[in-house]
Amino acid sequence: MADDCEARLAALGLTLPDAPAPAANYVPFCLSNGLLFMAGQVSRAADGNGIKGRLGENLSIAEGQKAAEAACLNLLAQIKTALGSLERVGQVLKLTGFVNSTPDFVDHPQVINGASDLMVAVFGDRGRHARAAVGMASLPFGFAVEVDAVLAVN
């Protein structure tokens, strides 16, 4: 039986990358009592190149949205590694998006819509979530966006 979530990704012209290895001393996910806690995933594109820069300085909102989508794809790859299938996601409960931005940039929610929209496109109503979109003075290695999540697991 085909994985419906991955079929939706394919219909969008997207494929899951390999799950990235942790960049430091942490694990990519922890599963406890039916909740999956995901470590932050950065905006590394499918070709392995990082989407780097700062919103309000050298990246447009549209570029930031693509960066958020790329970070979310990496998050989905980690979720699949954790659960074996995206179909085991019962609900995306919380998404937190961190945006590398200048102090005067105020459109963080529009940037993180790139990740939120992808979660809803992949999971339907199971992808609707509570969310925070936060501006940061910098992110690891100069990435434009980082996204983490908490999910309920079936």
**pLDDT tens readout for residues 93-131:** 999 999 999 999 999 999 999 999 999 999 999 999 999
Q: What is the pTM of this model?
A: 0.96
Question: Average of pLDDT values for 54-72?
Answer: 98
Residue 144 lies in a domain: yes
Residue 18 lies in a domain: no
CA distances in angstroms from 61 to 101, 113, 117, 144, listed in the order given:
11, 10, 14, 11
Quick check: 141 pLDDT over 90? yes
CATH number at residue 128: 3.30.1330.40
Quick check: 1 pLDDT over 60? no
Residue 115 lies in a domain: yes
pLDDT value at position 47? 86
What percentage of the chain has pLDDT greater than the value 70? 99
* Residue from 68, 92, 64, 78 nearest 153 by CA: 92
Residue 49 lies in a domain: yes
In the chain, at which residue ranges do the beta strands (DSSP E only) sit? 29-32, 35-42, 89-100, 130-136, 145-153
112 contacts 40 by C-beta, under 8 angstroms: no
Provide Rg for the chain, Cα atoms.
14
Residue 17 lies in a domain: no
Range of the domain at 35: 4-9+31-153
**pLDDT tens readout for residues 24-38:** 999 999 999 999 999
- Number of domains composing the chain: 1
Q: Burial code of 104-125, b = ≥16 C-beta within 10 A, e = fewer? A: ebebbebbbbbbbebbebbbee
How many angstroms separate the CA atoms of 140 and 51, rounded? Answer: 12
Residue 24 lies in a domain: no
